[in-house]
Structure 1
Amino acid sequence: MNFQQAVARQFNKAAKDYHQHASIQRLTANRLLSLGPREASQVLDVGCGPASTTAELLRRASHYLGVDIAPAMLLKAAADYPELSWLNGEWEALPVADNSVDWLFANLSLQWVDKLQQAMREAHRVLKPGGIVTINTVVEGTFNSFIKSWNAVDDLQHTHRFKSAERVQRAIGSVNWHRSEFVLEEHTQYFANVRELIGSIKGVGANYVRRTDNAGLMTRNRLQQLENAFENHRTLQGLPLEWSVLNIKLVK
């Protein structure tokens, strides 16, 4: 199983309960919408999930196309919007014609891309001249307290390795965009306990970890150690789960 297949499997698992856990995703989607055009002929929603932002995008675009790597997400999307087009595909090989899209929108899907420069070439390829990209990605600094707490337990990898904001900007700069804008924002969720926090991460499919074996999997003893370590990060609001999100606007 390659990286994209493994990511797709995680999001297939998350499809059923995605909406109830996606509070950060709704917040970041609204931020991206504020960067987009008021009107567009064709909008492409990459990583559309279970039609999470479809209603808002339809208010601004005459035609909508949703693409996602996870078939289970697309089934839920198509159930709510059977009249729209839904395609199974990935960032590195978008199933869309050249110069066919006015607006490419992608909310928190770019962090699951293995070959970022190729993804940016694909975004440039499908856009019409003058077309707009509004995308965001989770970057280094995300899950900071969670990672530090795991580091107190063992030296294994328990979360996805998110790219730095600088690395993302370099990859985007490798493509000849007419204009590019970047804004880094920080968001924090709070949870009563570690189980709720982990459940939230799993609920939005963000729990994929590249492993060569099962050495980093959860056991009852490890969970107890993690809970003990995480208490050092507790605030009056609860246990923090940080999200570092890089907002990006590009013009072809």
Structure 2
Amino acid sequence: MKPMNFQQAVARQFNKAARHYHQHADIQRLTADSLLKLGPNSAEILLDVGCGPASTTAHLLPRTECYMGVDIAPAMLATAANNYPNQVWLNGEWEALPVSAHSVDWLFANLSVQWVHHLEKAMGEAYRVLKPGGVATINTVVEGTFSSFIKSWNAVDDRQHTQTFHSPEKVEREVRLFNWESADFKLEKHIQYFASSRELMGSIKGVGANYVRRTTTSGLMTKGRLQQLEDAFESYRTTEGLPLEWSVLNIRLVK
């Protein structure tokens, strides 16, 4: 059997998460609220990249004459279409957006661009599809995300157990490769708390964020290794619970 490429693997992960996505997507709703504040009050054509199961559609529809949702995962789009049957839903990925050049007034993308293989190519696509004067509001997770969880795994083994997060500076450099009229960046941080490490990992899995691109196997999740992780993670517990950190870079671009 031919092995899946990166985007196929990401799509499979989000297909699995589609059914239960909403019940785990607290952080996604919070970051979407911040991103919505950066967008225009109205836009003729709006492209929601990484729309998921229509997570933010209800908030975007009043601000556009034509809404289009794009997602890499067919199961996410099926849920979206069931919730909003009269909207346009397109299967596609960041690095090859399925819309014409110079056709979009507002590109909205909440926590989707971190799943691309080449950020520069994705930003080139954003630049291509926007009309002159068009606005892109994009966010992405960066270094500092899942920091306690990553350090706890490091106490168990030296394998990779989470996605690799770029620095804010690296993201900004790649975004600025294009001739934007303006480009603004703002880092915000959030912490979720969980009663147990298993609940925390279930939340990560529930939004499809547990895909890890590896060059070597991570090893089986045996009871012994899980117990080692839980023991290491306990040193980070606060009165509110075990922390799951999110460092999110908000980006507002005008073409």
Instruction: From 122, 125, 135, give the equivalent of 2:125.
Output: 122
Instruction: From 204, 208, 227, give the equivalent of 1:205.
Output: 208
Rounded Cα–Cα distance in structure 2 between residues aligned with 1:3 and 1:175: 25
SS where residue 35 of structure 1 aligns?
coil
C-alpha RMSD of the superposition: 0.8
Q: Is the 8 A contact 1:98 1:127 kept in 2?
A: yes
User: 2:53 — aligned with what?
Assistant: 50
Aligned residues: 252
Instruction: From 165, 170, 184, give the equivalent of 2:168.
Output: 165
User: 1:141 — aligned with what?
Assistant: 144
TM-aligned CA deviation for residue 213 of structure 1: 4.4
Instruction: From 11, 14, 17, give the equivalent of 2:20.
Output: 17
- What runs of 5+ residues in structure 1 fail to find an aligned partner? none
Rounded Cα–Cα distance in structure 1 between residues aligned with 2:176 and 2:70: 24
Spell out, residue by residue over 1:30-66, the C-alpha distance to the aligned partner (whole angstroms, 9 max, x if none).
Answer: 0000000001101000000000000110010010000
Q: Is the 8 A contact 2:160 2:218 kept in 1?
A: no
Counterpart of 2:40, as a letter, is: P
TM-aligned CA deviation for residue 212 of structure 1: 3.5
Q: Is the 8 A contact 2:138 2:252 kept in 1?
A: yes
Counterpart of 1:231, as a letter, is: E
Aligned: 1:240 with 2:243: yes
- What runs of 5+ residues in structure 2 fail to find an aligned partner? none
SS where residue 192 of structure 2 aligns?
strand
Spell out, residue by residue over 1:70-103, the C-alpha distance to the aligned partner (whole angstroms, 9 max, x if none).
Answer: 0100000000111111011000000000111000
TM-aligned CA deviation for residue 215 of structure 1: 3.2
Counterpart of 1:174, as a letter, is: L
User: 1:90 — aligned with what?
Assistant: 93
Give me the TM-score of the superposition, normalised by structure 2: 0.97
Q: Is the 8 A contact 2:72 2:92 kept in 1?
A: yes
Rounded Cα–Cα distance in structure 1 between residues aligned with 2:152 and 2:76: 31
Instruction: From 213, 216, 225, give the equivalent of 1:222.
Output: 225
- How many percent of aligned residue pairs carry the same amino acid? 72
SS where residue 181 of structure 1 aligns?
strand
Instruction: From 112, 115, 118, give the equivalent of 1:112.
Output: 115
Rounded Cα–Cα distance in structure 2 between residues aligned with 1:16 and 1:248: 29
Counterpart of 2:226, as a letter, is: L
SS where residue 136 of structure 1 aligns?
strand
Rounded Cα–Cα distance in structure 2 between residues aligned with 1:218 and 1:204: 20
Aligned: 1:151 with 2:154: yes
Spell out, residue by residue over 1:124-153, the C-alpha distance to the aligned partner (whole angstroms, 9 max, x if none).
Answer: 110010000001000111000000000001
Aligned: 1:78 with 2:66: no
SS where residue 249 of structure 2 aligns?
strand
Q: Moved runs in structure 1, 4+ residues, more than 2 A?
A: 211-217
Give me the TM-score of the superposition, normalised by structure 1: 0.99
